Structure formats: structure tokens, C-alpha cells
Amino acid sequence: MSKAFKQITTSILLLLVLPFSAAKAQSILRDAETEDFLHEVSDPIFIAAGLNPSSVHLYLLHDNSINAFVTGGQNIFIHSGLILEANNVNEFLGVMAHETCHIACGHRVRTASALGTAGTTSILSMVLGAAAILAGGADAGMGIMMAGQSMAQGQFLAYSRGQESEADLAGARYLQEAGIPGEGMIAFFEKLRDQEILAQVRQDPYVRSHPLNRTRIMQLQEVVGDSPYAGQPPNPDMNEKFNRLKAKLAGYLFEPRRTLRDYPLSDTSASARYARVYAYHKALEWDAALSEADALIAMEPNNPYFYEIKGQILFENGRVEQSLPVFKQAVALAPRQPLIATALGQAMVSTEDEKLMADAIPILEAATRQDRNNSFAWFNLAKAYAWMGREAEASLATAERFYSGGSPMQAVMHAQRAMEGFDEGTPEWLRAQDILYVSQEAAEKFRRQQERQRRQQDRQRLQEFE
């Protein structure tokens, strides 16, 4: 066993728990079936909006509040609470269509412009107010300032309300073009509108960032009512997949007692069995969890995600050898799913068998090519490289892991080690150099930020002392 292998195995903590895994401080949930489903149902909406579905990145956050939001680029973040609260797939798609407009309609760029306009109004009022005060009109000056601040705030809030209304109507249009009834959007917004009477501390984030009112909903009802798909029920296949996703999330996030109450043994549907798999796993009832997994496989023998669940239960119960053929079956049924391939690679690496280590390397390399941000694949690939004595490649894989995980200081250290191990100018050396330069800049920025925070804390302590 190499020194690098020992360092890797003792310094890294695996976070995989069944197919769901939490990344980046356990805030982003990753699951092969969930990610496939989110794109399967949302891609038609992205196409209707004129977006390239492969350019839109969807992230599921571990947060039980009801929320979804768009950030820079084409990134949509979805809270787990949004999925758990939606009654059917059409309610969920209504929110997705609304959020899609925030990307397709350029709201992020236009919001920056609106903030600039409001800021100009605010600054101008401050200048005029200050001039009035200097001229001897203190009351008039303060009045100008206060009026200016109020006007600036009103300008931006009016603009924000306009954006939300535009997103409603555009979202309804996307749904129609994708052949999806729009009533789900209205039903979900009606559900959220009831929260507006709550204090802000009790409101869900979506209500605070997407203010709803009766006028908006009535306007949306008129547009949705004209759709040729009005009144149609949700697509049964998509709704079944959505219900399974809800059940998996509930089983993964909630306490077993609650899950078993919501999905009793009398319910033999796939969704209920899914939920109970997680409930039994969390309760360390391994045999019961495996029994439910076997029942799922019997229902759908060609479903890769059912084998994935069974393999993970066996693996986490210490039955690694038994998990291997189950994981291999899952990979055979879903050959282009990097998260499932990673689970197989992890199981193979954990055996510490040299042949299995060697066999795991191409599997994990393929997984990282398909998913560069797959930190678990990078971790296990580094582990396999180190075991096989390929120290430079282990350092590069570890640098990739920390780079993708947003840990620039650690990425710098391992990238430097990798550069020392490869011949200058080779593709591996150049990749390590790229990681080094980018991570050094990020690490320096982080260091300066920490320094500013420390100076600010020191000033605060001095003020308190004085």
C-alpha cells in the first residue's frame, strides 16, 4: 500500500448515503434518478423558451422551505421543500416555467440596470437634499432626501413586480408550447398566496422573493384558460416519476417514524416502497430495506435505480462483495449515468483488491469525463491511482476533487505535487498548471477576504473595549 493511498484514505470523509448524496456542506443533493427526471420534465420548457437544455444547470438543495431561484448564467436552484409541497408534476412544472423566464427574459441583466436606475435616483436626491440643507433649508433638504429614497425604492419594487408578471405570462406560454396544462402553476401560486398574510419570518422564501397578488393570478387564469391543454390531467408517466421522487426525498429527509406513517405497509406502490427503503435504512433495519428493494426490482426488473438502491444498501451494510454484481447490473442498464458508475467504482475500490482497483480506474475516469464536478468519483479515482502506485495521477485527481469542490488552497497543494510528477508540457502537466493558476487566484482572494474580516473584527473589539 502506497504512502499516498494511506494519506487519501485517512484524510477524506465519504458523504454518500444511498443514491442521494450531499455535496458542498451538505446543501446540494445529488441523485442519478432525480437529476435525470428534472431534466426530462423541464427540457421541453427550456426548448419552448429558446434555451439549450444542456446549458441549463439544475441543482436540488437540501432545504425544506418552498423556494426556487435563478443565479448567474443559466442555473436554477430548487429547494427540496418545493418538490415535497407540490401535489403533482404540473404544479412543479408551473414553477419551473416561471423561473425559466427569469433566464430567457434576461431578468438578471435587466435587474442590474434597474438597480442602477434606482441608485441614480437615490444619489441625486441625496445631492439635492444636501444642497438644500447647506442653503439653510434643513427641513426641505431632509424632505428631498426621504422622497428620493422612497422614489428609488418604488422604482425598483415596481420593476420587480413587472418582472414577476412577465415571468407568469411567459411561463404559461412555455407550458402551452410544451403541451403542458397551465393550471398547475395557478394551483401552486394560490397555495403560496395564502402565506402572504404571515409575518416574514414565517413565510417561505418564494413568497418573499416572488410577491403574489390576486390581480396577477386572475391575469394568469385568463391566459391558461385559453390553452388547448386546459383542463387536462398531468401526464401519468411523468406524475408517477414525480411521486417517486417525492417519496425518495421524504424517506431521505424525514425521520423514519414520519415516513412510515405517511407511507404505511398497506401501500404497496413503488413510491411507498421507495420511501420505506430510506426509512428502514435510516433506522438500520437492513433486512427490511433490502426486502423493499427486492420488491421494487420484482416490479420493474429493468429499472437501474432500483438496483442502485439495493447495491448501496448492501455496500453500506458491509456486504461489499454482494453489492458488486448489483451495481454492475445498474451500470449495464444505465451505462451513461456517471453517479451510478461512481457507486460501482467506489465499491470496487473499497475492496482494496488490486485487480478490482485496476478495473475501477477506467470506470471512474469515464465518470469524471461525463461529470467534472463529481467529487466522489475524483476521490475514488485518486484512491485507486495511489493504490496502483500512480502517484502523480493520484495528486492530479485529488487536485481536481478540491478544485471542483471549491477548496482552492488544497487544490493548489495537490496541483503542485502533480506538476512535479508529470513531464512538462504533457496534457496532465498542463491541466495541473491550469488548476494551480486558477486556484492560486481564488485562494488569494479568499485570504484577502479573511484578512478584511479579521481587521473588521479587531476594530469591533477595540470599539467595545473603549
Does the pLDDT value for residue 251 go beyond 50?
A: yes
pTM over 0.85: no
Torsion from C-alpha of 196, 199, 201, 202, nearest 10 degrees = -60
9 vs 460: CA distance, rounded Å: 42
Q: Distance between CA 44 and CA 53 in Å, rounded?
A: 8
Burial of 166 by CB count in 10 Å (0-12 exposed, 13-18 middle, 19+ buried)?
Answer: middle
The predicted structure's pLDDT at residue 451: 83
Count CA within 13 A, CB hemisphere, residue 152.
19
Helix (H) or strand (E) holding 57: strand 57-61
Residue 171 has a pLDDT of 93
Q: Which three cell numbers stand for residue 400?
A: 481536481
Domain parsing of the chain, residue ranges:
31-225, 390-466
Question: CA distances (Å), 264 to each of 256, 261, 279, 305, 398, in order?
Answer: 11, 6, 11, 22, 44
Mean pLDDT score of the chain: 83
Closest by Cα among 183, 163, 178 to 223: 183
- For 176-209, b/e burial (b = at least 16 CB within 10 A) is bebebbbbbbbebbeebbeeeeeeeeebbbbbee
Q: Quick one: DSSP state of residue 257?
A: H
pLDDT tens sequence across 322-351: 999 999 999 999 999 999 999 999 999 999
Compute the distance between CA of residue 297 and CA of residue 292 in angstroms, rounded to an integer. 9
- For 392-443, the pLDDT digits (tens) are 999 999 999 999 888 899 999 999 999 999 999 999 999 999 999 999 998 8
* 112-135 tens-digit pLDDT: 443 344 344 444 444 444 444 344
Given pLDDT bands bounded at 50, 70 and 90, which one contains residue 211? low
List, in order, residues 6 or more apart from 202 with CB less than 8 Å away: 195
Range scoring the smallest mean pLDDT among 143-147, 227-231, 352-356, 397-401: 143-147
pLDDT of residue 153 exceeding 70, the answer is: no
Q: Which residues, in sequence order, are CB contacts of 441 under 8 Å at separation 6+?
A: none
Q: Which of 404, 435, 405, 443 is nearest to 417 (CA)?
A: 435
Phi, psi of 61 (to 5 degrees): -100, 140
According to the model, what pLDDT value does residue 219 have?
84
Mean pLDDT calculated for residue range 276-284? 94
State residue 448's pLDDT score: 84
Q: How far is CA 225 from CA 173, 176, 213, in A?
A: 12, 11, 19
Q: Above pLDDT 90, what percent of the chain?
A: 61
Q: What is the 3-state secondary structure (H, E, C) of 382-438?
A: HHHHHHCCCHHHHHHHHHHHHHHCCCHHHHHHHHHHHHHHCCCCCHHHHHHHHHHHH
Q: pLDDT band at residue 465, thresholds of 50, 70 and 90?
A: low
Q: Tell me, what amino acid is at 177?
A: E
- pLDDT, one tens digit per residue, over 36-86 is 999 999 999 999 999 999 999 999 999 888 888 888 778 999 999 999 999
Q: What angle do CA 370, 371, 373 make, to 5 degrees?
A: 160
Dist. CA 418–CA 437, nearest whole Å: 13
The pLDDT value recorded for residue 121 is 40
CATH superfamily of 31-225: Metalloproteases ("zincins"), catalytic domain (3.30.2010.10)
pLDDT for 138: 43
Q: What's the pLDDT at 50?
A: 95
| pLDDT computed for residue 5 by the predictor | 44
CA-to-CA distance for 147 and 358, rounded, in angstroms? 71
**To the nearest whole percent, how much of the chain has pLDDT over 70?**
77
